[in-house]
């Protein structure tokens, strides 16, 4: 059987086709326009490949509660044409094969837990810091859902006293994690993008404070066995030691099993590089087929 994988992003759609062994046979990318334009193109791609199941890791918010009448649909996204689009239902009807849907970050976390940096562990947290901040959580080998799914990119933080823009830019919450620490927030605050800011700029120490607060909150609420940080902003690898040091300092010895480490094995880069999203969608397709 062939498996279809879709990584649905706000700017681009990545589509792939995998074989039984998990080998990626084909991959294509198309821009995310409106559902009327983009959905038929995606449908044609997967029909042409003759897939037996499809997995989707998508931007959200998504309705993932099977008891909800909107199960499988996109929720209140700022991408207005996609609001309310029944992503799972449209593909299931259009292809006539089993379809599984989860958030892009839950899919990435699943791939990291099965094949990447958290391989062999039952739990992990995957956070991407890019245009926005999103987090996926695996517990007992499965992505967390519940009411809908975690939205930990919007957790509230204590502003850094050195931050010249502590009010943040999130349209919903202003100074939440995404409002303070995503790429666009850094660029607005400093007039330079995360790519351009020099290593020794105070921006990085403030950014590390915000990401360490997130790690602190996540360790104490979710107890993940590994924290994986990715996305465009985290391409600047020099921030990792700063985040680890600040997280340890905030924990202040409270989590004993972490207290004697420098966290270099605990707060880590993705093991699958930028492939975790699509790989996770493939793993979702396998689950859909098995169910
Ligand atoms: P998206 O979140 O849209 O999937 P990215 O993860 O690449 O895409 O995030 C884009 C953001 O990351 C932008 O704000 C950009 O400034 C920042 N960014 C992209 N590449 C780099 C890089 N090499 N170093 C630092 N920041 C980067
Ligand atoms: Zn927010």
Q: Which residues surround ligand 2, an ion (CB under 5 A)?
A: 154, 170, 172-173, 176, 178
Ligand 1, closest atom to CA 184?
14
Ligand 1, closest atom to CA 10?
3
C-alpha 182 – ligand 1 centre gap (Å): 9
| Per-residue confidence (pLDDT) for residue 124, from 0 to 100 | 98
Ligand nearest to the CA of 178: 2
pLDDT digits (tens, 9 = 90+) for 136-165: 999 999 999 988 899 999 999 999 999 999
**Which residues, 6 or more positions from 173, have their beta carbon under 8 angstroms from its beta carbon?**
154, 156, 179
Ligand 1, closest atom to CA 193?
16
Residue 36 pLDDT > 90 = yes
| Per-residue confidence (pLDDT) for residue 131, from 0 to 100 | 93
Substitution site in 13, 194, 207, 236 for ligand 1 pocket (most atoms within 8 Å of beta carbon): 194
Residue 177 pLDDT > 90 = yes
C-alpha 8 – ligand 1 centre gap (Å): 17
Stated pTM of the model = 0.96
Residue 194 pLDDT > 90 = yes
| Per-residue confidence (pLDDT) for residue 2, from 0 to 100 | 98
For ligand 1, whether the C-beta of 241 sits within 6 Å is no
For ligand 1, whether the C-beta of 233 sits within 6 Å is yes
**Which residues, 6 or more positions from 60, have their beta carbon under 8 angstroms from its beta carbon?**
74, 75, 77, 103, 104, 134, 148, 149, 151
For ligand 1, whether the C-beta of 190 sits within 6 Å is no
Q: At 78, is the pLDDT very low, low, confident or very high (cuts 50, 70, 90)? A: confident
Residue-averaged pLDDT of the chain = 97
For ligand 1, whether the C-beta of 193 sits within 6 Å is yes
Report, as an integer, the average pLDDT of 69-78.
Answer: 94
Which residue has the least CA distance to atom 22 on ligand 1?
195
Ligand nearest to the CA of 235: 1
Q: At 168, is the pLDDT very low, low, confident or very high (cuts 50, 70, 90)? A: very high
Residue 74 pLDDT > 90 = yes
| Per-residue confidence (pLDDT) for residue 157, from 0 to 100 | 98
Neighbours of 183 (CB within 10 A): 18
Q: At 176, is the pLDDT very low, low, confident or very high (cuts 50, 70, 90)? A: very high
What kind of fold does domain 3-106+274-290 have according to CATH? Nucleotidyltransferase; domain 5 (3.30.420)
The CATH number of 119-269 is 3.30.420.40
Residue 219 pLDDT > 90 = yes
| Per-residue confidence (pLDDT) for residue 210, from 0 to 100 | 99
Pairing verdict, β 124-129 and 99-103: unpaired
Same fold? 3-106+274-290, 119-269: yes
- Where are the domains positioned within the chain? 3-106+274-290, 119-269
Ligand nearest to the CA of 157: 2
% of residues, the chain, pLDDT over 70: 100
Report, as an integer, the average pLDDT of 119-125.
Answer: 97
For ligand 1, whether the C-beta of 75 sits within 6 Å is no
Which residue has the least CA distance to atom 24 on ligand 1?
195
User: Cα separation of 101 and 63, whole Å?
Assistant: 9
User: Cα separation of 281 and 116, whole Å?
Assistant: 14
pLDDT digits (tens, 9 = 90+) for 229-268: 999 999 999 999 999 999 999 999 999 999 999 999 999 9
Residue 86 pLDDT > 90 = yes
Residue 173 pLDDT > 90 = yes
């Amino acid at each position: 059987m062939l498996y279809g994988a879709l990584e649905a992003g706000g700017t681009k759609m990545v589509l792939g086709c995998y074989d039984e062994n998990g080998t990626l046979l084909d991959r294509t990318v198309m821009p995310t326009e409106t559902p009327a334009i983009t959905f038929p193109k995606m449908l044609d791609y997967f029909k042409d490949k003759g897939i037996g199941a499809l997995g989707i890791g998508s931007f959200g918010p998504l309705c993932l509660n099977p008891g909800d009448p909107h199960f499988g649909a996109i929720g209140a996204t700022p991408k207005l044409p996609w609001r309310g689009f029944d992503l799972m239902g449209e593909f299931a009807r259009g292809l006539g094969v089993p379809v599984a849907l989860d958030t892009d970050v839950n899919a990435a976390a699943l791939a990291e837990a099965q094949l990447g940096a958290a391989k062999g562990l039952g739990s992990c947290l995957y956070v991407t810091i890019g245009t926005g901040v999103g987090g996926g959580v695996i517990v007992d080998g499965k992505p967390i859902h519940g009411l809908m799914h975690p939205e930990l990119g919007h957790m509230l933080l204590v502003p850094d006293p050195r931050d010249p823009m502590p009010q943040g830019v999130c349209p919903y919450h202003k100074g939440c994690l995404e409002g303070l620490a995503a790429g666009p927030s850094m660029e607005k605050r400093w007039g330079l993008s995360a790519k351009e800011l020099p290593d020794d700029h105070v921006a990085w120490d403030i950014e590390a404070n915000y990401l360490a607060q997130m790690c602190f909150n996540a360790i104490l609420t979710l107890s993940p066995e590994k924290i994986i940080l990715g996305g465009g902003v985290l391409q600047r690898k020099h921030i990792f030691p700063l985040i680890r040091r600040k997280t340890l300092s905030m924990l202040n010895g409270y989590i004993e099993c972490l207290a004697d480490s420098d966290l270099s094995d605990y707060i880590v880069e993705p093991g699958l590089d930028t492939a975790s999203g699509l790989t996770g969608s493939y793993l979702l397709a396998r689950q859909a087929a098995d169910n």
